[in-house]
Amino acid sequence: MKDDGSRVATGSQRRRSAPRARPNVADVARRSGVSVATVSRAFNAPGIVSDDVRERVLKAASDLGYAPNAAAKALRLQRTHIIGAIVPTLNYAIFASMLNAFQARLAKSGHMLFLATTGFDNRALLEPARQLVERGAEALLVVGRIDDPGLTAYLAERRIPVVTTYSYLAGNQIPSIGFDNDAASRELIGYLLRLGHRRLAMITASTQGNDRQEARVRAFREALADAGIRGKPVILERTHAIAEGASALAEIHERHPEVTAIVCNSDVLAIGALAEAKRLGLAVPGDISITGHDDQEFAGLTEPALTTIAVPAEEMGVRAAEALLDATRDGHRQGPKGAELPTRLVIRGSTGKPRKKS
Amino acid sequence: MKDDGSRVATGSQRRRSAPRARPNVADVARRSGVSVATVSRAFNAPGIVSDDVRERVLKAASDLGYAPNAAAKALRLQRTHIIGAIVPTLNYAIFASMLNAFQARLAKSGHMLFLATTGFDNRALLEPARQLVERGAEALLVVGRIDDPGLTAYLAERRIPVVTTYSYLAGNQIPSIGFDNDAASRELIGYLLRLGHRRLAMITASTQGNDRQEARVRAFREALADAGIRGKPVILERTHAIAEGASALAEIHERHPEVTAIVCNSDVLAIGALAEAKRLGLAVPGDISITGHDDQEFAGLTEPALTTIAVPAEEMGVRAAEALLDATRDGHRQGPKGAELPTRLVIRGSTGKPRKKS
DNA sequence: CTGAAAGCGCTTACAG
DNA sequence: CTGAAAGCGCTTACAG
């Protein structure tokens, strides 16, 4: 806890050597011959200060390179203008893109972003949330449904506005800005059924604490049932990686050769499946149709290009920022508002009619 | 600036209604029958407090849900434990990946991340840097060389440790953690020359305020000159987008049909070029070789897979975090240390011997 | 329109 | 080992 001595200094004999790194209101006040109160007002309520005094203060401040101390302001105002985000990872383009838009929107309103990354399991959200809040976050963006009642309680107790993204969850206690995972997957599956597919399989990322994957799996089961397709649906749960998509496809090929279409719950899994299909000499979509989820940039570039579901990543980021900014504004303390955003089924070359029965 | 009245309250009659959102040291002190000084010590210098008192304090704190106020600590300690990062965008996997590793490493040491995104032009770095620092960042990660002497001066004056990533710039005033762009590009170009290519073109992203692209362009010119290849090198400068890579390839095909190999300064540009080559009926690498830069995940998945340069994204993030953490530690105020990291030429299917002269 | 003073929530040198 | 008090840098109710 030792320092070079010039920064922290309690008592009266502070800063004897080098000039302090950052000038404060007192320095500006001295230089412009007014009180610190006036300096503060010149910045925060300029209309209330006489023109010449204001100019003098501003000039002095700029000469000195003065900028208000954020910690002091935060302490005094009980307002940090910091918003936190908890995302599974930045190594997934859709999250990165959402966050990019989120932070840009925050910056536009003079807010800072605190970022935490956790894995994909939303049951481990309390700790990072607490960290963020204790360090000053006044509101929180989270990806996916909050399952932990402890977290909900913690946030409610401190009146921290939260917005859940990715999944739009109607009627949930916590407002969500996202899309309907169930409907989006059903649309895709409906399209495959209409093409004539009867033997479908799903490759999903872990559903543990991941409501988005859960919803897609449920949609799959229900859509098949609704279509009168009997038998245990083929569903393989893997971790979220290209290689896992590949090995899952290999397993389906070996153990469920009747399958003609594979619904992957992320483009990453689909890419892996696609590569493995080629390796095995399967024609896509001739022998097997493959679909993805999210419409990452590379989805349009594979061979064949991937049929997938485009997801409003940027818009979720912007809307979440605005909802949180709003909920955090002084006076307006009634919680952020959710919003359901549309997805889009993007049909490309990786899907087609099922092969003739062999 | 109105509030619900229960949060900010100056004077003696504060919090008459609801209990305050967050308990403070005084609350804990009262509940455990000690002074606030002791409460503080129980947390920050536990060894100095008698066992039973410490336990009592900790119990009271936990009952109350006490957590220290970060702003107050920051003000008192003159230490925020916040580190800032300025990256061009999160929409580029390599930056996202670096940042992901950076923030994870910071979190492990109890530090928070402030993030700012600017475009690719490093001449616009002063404003975001100032924002970050004024809001409490104690150190800064920047991508690419800092060209603005105003920024260098600003940072030096406030003794803000900075680390520049991506480019390793030996002998620079500001330490850098990255790789040698020149050497990496030369290695790639050397490989193409050895394959027999004589007519090369380069597609680069904007070199404006982007030393990485600049270095690669320079390497290209010099490598060609060194190889005794005369004539004005074909260099197309585009913005950083798939479609731009595509249009650049089309232009090369039309105006420089003699070209047999195209060096793209990013995988994104290369992807576009690859797609356009196919569209034009050019065989890759039969008619034309195409290379990328960075080895993003999708680079191995295109058809043919992309020959490219793998870049140590995660490691740059981790090392930058450690360097900054170190430079920021109390006592140790001698500036972060740079490091040169290796790249790796990844040869895949998009490159081959040049076509026979037609 | 301006200033003196209190207080936001902490930590720590100083005394005991 | 513990407490009283000062002070980090701000803003604002209160007085003038």
- B32 CA to C14 C1' distance (Å): 24
- Match 């610190």 to its residue by tokens: A36
Q: What is the separation of C-alpha A316 from the centre of its chain, rounded to a whole number of angstroms?
A: 8
Quick check: A71 and B75 CB within 8 A?
yes
| Cα angle value A87/A93/A97 (rounded, 5°) | 70
State which amino acid sits at residue B8: V
B332 touches chain A (CB under 8 A): no
pLDDT of residue B333: 60
Residue-level pLDDT at B180: 95
Interchain contact, B303 vs A302, CB within 8 Å? yes
Question: Residue A272 has what pLDDT?
Answer: 94
So what's the pLDDT on residue A170? Answer: 84
Give the pLDDT score at A14. 36
CA A77 → C1' D16, Å? Answer: 26
Tokens of A177: 């800005």
Neighbours of A234 (CB within 10 A): 19
Q: Do B71 and A80 lie within an 8 Å CB cutoff?
A: yes
Interface with chain B: mutation pick from A10, A77, A274, A297, highest number of B CBs within 10 Å? A297
Q: Which of residues 184-213 of B touch A (CB under 8 A)?
A: none
Strands, sheet with B261-264, edge to edge from the N-terminal-most edge strand: B234-238, B200-205, B261-264, B289-291
> What span, in angstroms and rounded, lies between the C-alpha atoms of B195 and B277?
20
List the single residue in A with minimal CA-CA distance to B107.
A116
Query: Rounded to whole angstroms, how far apart are CA atoms A308 and B299?
Result: 20
CA of B72 to C1' of D13 (A): 22
Beta carbons of A117 and B97 less than 8 Å apart: no
Residues 31..90 of B with a Cβ closer than 8 Å to A: which? 65, 67-72, 74-75, 77-78, 80, 89-90
Question: DSSP letters along B119-162, please?
Answer: -S-GGG-HHHHHHHHHTT-SSEEEES----HHHHHHHHHTT--E
Under a CB-based contact definition with an 8 Å cutoff, are residues A261 and A201 in contact? yes
Is B257 strand, coil or helix? coil
Best CA proximity match to B284, nearest among B265, B259, B251, B311: B259
| B141 in A contact zone (CB under 8 Å) | no
Closest by Cα among B191, B194, B187 to B219: B187
Is the CB of A301 less than 8 angstroms away from the CB of B297? no
Instruction: Let me know: does A29 contact A36? Beta carbons within 8 Å.
Output: yes
Cβ-Cβ contacts under 8 Å, B275 against chain A? 301
How far: B342 CA to D6 C1' (Å)?
53
Minimal CA separation from A228 to chain B, in Å:
37
Q: Hey, CA dihedral for B314, B315, B319, B322, is it positive or negative?
A: positive
- A297–B301 C-beta distance less than 8 A: no
A328 and chain B in contact, CB less than 8 A: no
Closest by Cβ to A70, choosing from B99, B135, B331: B135
Kindly list the residues from chain B whose CB atom is less than 8 angstroms away from the CB atom of residue A67: 130, 134
Nearest to A71 among B74, B114, B297 (CB): B74
CA of A334 to C1' of C11 (A): 36
Residues 94-123 of A with CB under 8 A from B: 96-97, 99-100, 103-104, 107, 112-117
Nearest residue: Cα versus C1' of D12: B10
Contact A67 B4 (CB under 8 A): no
Interface of A with B in 298-327 (CB under 8 A): 298, 301-303
B93 inside 8 A of chain A by CB: yes
d(CA A94, CA B117): 17
Among candidates B3, B74, B242 on the partner chain, residue whose Cβ is nearest the Cβ of A331: B3
User: 């991340």: which residue's tokens?
Assistant: B113
* B342 alpha carbon, distance to own chain's centre: 17
Centre a 10 Å sphere on the Cβ of residue B133 and count the other Cβ atoms it contains. 22
What is the distance in angstroms between the Cα of B24 and the nearest Cα belonging to chain A?
A: 12
Whether A291 and A307 have beta carbons less than 8 Å apart is answered as yes
CA–CA separation, B272 and B275 (whole Å) = 5
CB contact under 8 A, A90 and B69: no
Coil, helix or strand at residue A100: helix
Q: Provide the token pair at A217.
A: 């799996």
- Cα A162 to its chain centre, rounded Å, is 12
- A83 contacts in chain B (CB < 8 Å): none
- Partners of B321 on chain A (C-beta within 8 Å) are none
CA distance B54 to chain A (A): 21
Q: How many CA atoms lie within 13 A of A164 on its CB side?
A: 25
Contact A33, A60 (CB under 8 A): no
| pLDDT at residue number B209 | 86
Distance A113 CA to D5 C1' (A): 37
Give the DSSP per-residue string, A104-166: HHHHHTT-EEEEEE--S-GGG-HHHHHHHHHTT-SSEEEES----HHHHHHHHHTT--EEEEE
- Backbone φ, ψ for residue A108 (5° rounding): -60, -25
Q: What is the pLDDT along chain A (358 residues), one digit of tens a residue?
A: 333 333 333 333 333 334 546 899 999 999 999 999 999 999 998 888 889 999 999 999 999 999 999 999 999 999 999 999 999 999 999 999 999 999 999 999 999 999 999 877 777 899 999 999 999 999 999 998 888 899 999 999 889 999 999 999 888 888 999 999 999 999 999 999 999 999 999 999 999 889 999 999 999 999 999 999 998 999 999 998 899 999 999 999 999 999 999 999 999 999 999 999 999 999 999 999 999 999 998 898 888 999 999 999 999 999 999 999 999 987 666 778 889 999 999 999 999 999 876 5
Query: Are residues B100 and A89, on separate chains, in Cβ contact within 8 Å?
Result: yes
B331 to A2: CB separation less than 8 angstroms, yes or no:
yes
Q: In this complex, do A157 and B65 lie within 8 Å of one another by their Cβ atoms?
A: yes
- Find and give the residue nearest to D7, measured CA to C1': A10
3-state helix, strand, coil in chain B (%, to 5): 45, 15, 40
What gap in Å lies between CA B224 and CA B226, rounded to an integer? 5
Per-residue pLDDT of chain B (358 residues; tens, 9 = 90+): 333 333 333 333 333 334 556 899 999 999 999 999 999 999 998 888 889 999 999 999 999 999 999 999 999 999 999 999 999 999 999 999 999 999 999 999 999 999 999 877 777 899 999 999 999 999 999 998 888 899 999 999 899 999 999 999 888 888 999 999 999 999 999 999 999 999 999 999 999 889 999 999 999 999 999 999 998 999 999 998 899 999 999 999 999 999 999 999 999 999 999 999 999 999 999 999 999 999 998 898 888 999 999 999 999 999 999 999 999 987 666 778 899 999 999 999 999 999 876 5
Looking at the complex, does the CB of residue B247 fall below 8 Å from at least one CB of chain A?
Answer: no
Q: Give the tens place of pLDDT for each residue, A172-213.
A: 888 999 999 999 999 999 999 999 999 999 999 999 889 999
With beta carbons less than 8 A apart as the criterion, state whether B328 and B136 touch: no
User: What are the structure tokens assigned to A336, written together?
Assistant: 């952020």
- Mutant choice from A69, A100, A155, A276 vs B, greatest count of B C-beta within 10 A: A100
Contact assessment for residue B263 and residue B289, using Cβ atoms and an 8 Å cutoff: no
Interatomic separation, CA of residue B17 and C1' of nucleotide C10, rounded (Å):
25
Dihedral (CA of A327, A328, A329, A330) sign: positive
Q: Are A79 and A138 in contact (CB under 8 A)?
A: yes
* CB nearest B333 (choices: A1, A4, A8): A4
pLDDT at A4: 32
**Whether B270 contacts B308, CB under 8 Å:** yes
Which bin fits A306, alpha (ψ -120 to 50), beta or left (φ > 0)? beta
Distance B60 CA to C14 C1' (A): 27
Q: How many contacts, defined by CB atoms under 8 Å, are there between A and B?
A: 131
Cβ neighbours of B297 in A, within 8 Å: 242, 298
Give the global pTM: 0.90
Q: Is the dihedral of CA B146, B151, B154, B160 positive or negative?
A: negative
* Predicted pLDDT at A333: 60
Nearest to A96 among B2, B91, B297 (CB): B91
Chain A residue nearest residue B78, CA to CA: A8
At residue A332, the pLDDT reads: 64
